[in-house]
Amino acid sequence: MRVLVTGGAGFIGGHVVEALLDAGHEVRVLDALLPEVHPAGWPAHLDPRAERVHGDVRDLPAGVLDGVDAVSHQAAVVGLGLDLQDLPLYVGVNELGTAVLLAAADRAGVGRVVLASSMVVYGEGRYACAEHGLVRPLPRSREALEAHRWEPPCPHCGRDLAWHLVPEDAPVDPRSVYAASKTAQEHLSAAWARGSGGAVVALRYHNVYGPHMPKDTPYAGVASLFRSAVARGEAPTVYEDGGQQRDFVHVRDVAQANLRALTAGVEDGALTAYNVASGTPHTIGDVAAAIARGGPDPVVTAGYRLGDVRHVVASPQRARDELGFAAQVGFEEGMAEFVTAPLRGDAPGA
């Protein structure tokens, strides 16, 4: 199978490229090589077996989809970013870029799209109130966060809530610019599937970490930010009280999920979503402590970012049952590797 991997020079994309090639697929990489992301151009670690095309999903190079059987759409601006001035960037790359790509895929007769989605589409995760059952908490207010009231209360009675695993059929509830753009990608892809008769597999990544993760950027993941702080001899800075629950999944496992999604027996003419997670939650404080081992202890600041959610931990059961995917890299093993793994930006061409 010939697969186009958009954003294939990126952190997750590069690992997906390698996994596809190792499985015997032909791979064409499309990447914009934005200077703020890839100042040295094509990264040295990108698998040399892949065909490379320099171009932007918002303005696709001619012929980039020629002979392509499936698209692995990894290209995106990720993370919470800086502030609302990032709105045009997220909408332009994530939403317009996806629309341009899907229109071209329709013209080219592509039959399958594997979409890099995200757990952020759920907003706050799944919660239950002892009196009112399953509820959807309201966004946490600035006033509550300033008062260090970290846990979202029941919207009906104000009682404390208990978090639960989020299944794929939970309603989407994006609570940041990035989350809104990832939700839009899913909606656009579902419309493409209905109109073209093709199949979309949306992989809702949880907190992905591992080698070649970007460093020292506002769009980097929290594990990378902790790692950079430790490398500078500084204590990792933990927001809120460090008790936020997340699922950290290794990038090699994410690549394997993409490989399985490529040939999964899913419904044509529809989008099928899967949580891509380890199945074992950890707090942000746990991650900071694992990365800081041997260095300065993490500092819990009680700071916050408006738009952050408190707990998002998903059920990996559907991916296990239907894709045959289960994460193989454990938290301790993965974090031990991560503290010394090369990051993007460590050296020219990294």
Residues noted as catalytic: 178
Q: Which of 30, 197, 29, 26 is nearest to 106 (CA)?
A: 197
Q: Which of 254, 248, 255 is nearest to 313 (CA)?
A: 248
Distance (Å, rounded) from C-alpha 166 to C-alpha 273? 12
Beta pairing, strands 237-238 & 299-300: parallel
Q: How many residues does the chain have?
A: 350
Distance (Å, rounded) from C-alpha 15 to C-alpha 262? 15
Residue in the block written with tokens 């289960």: 326
Structure tokens at 345: 């930006």
Distance (Å, rounded) from C-alpha 138 to C-alpha 116? 27
Residue in the block written with tokens 């460093």: 215
DSSP strand E in the chain: where?
2-6, 26-31, 51-54, 70-73, 112-118, 126-129, 133-135, 162-164, 199-205, 207-209, 237-238, 245-250, 270-276, 281-283, 299-300
- Residues 202 and 189 sit within 8 Å (Cβ to Cβ): yes
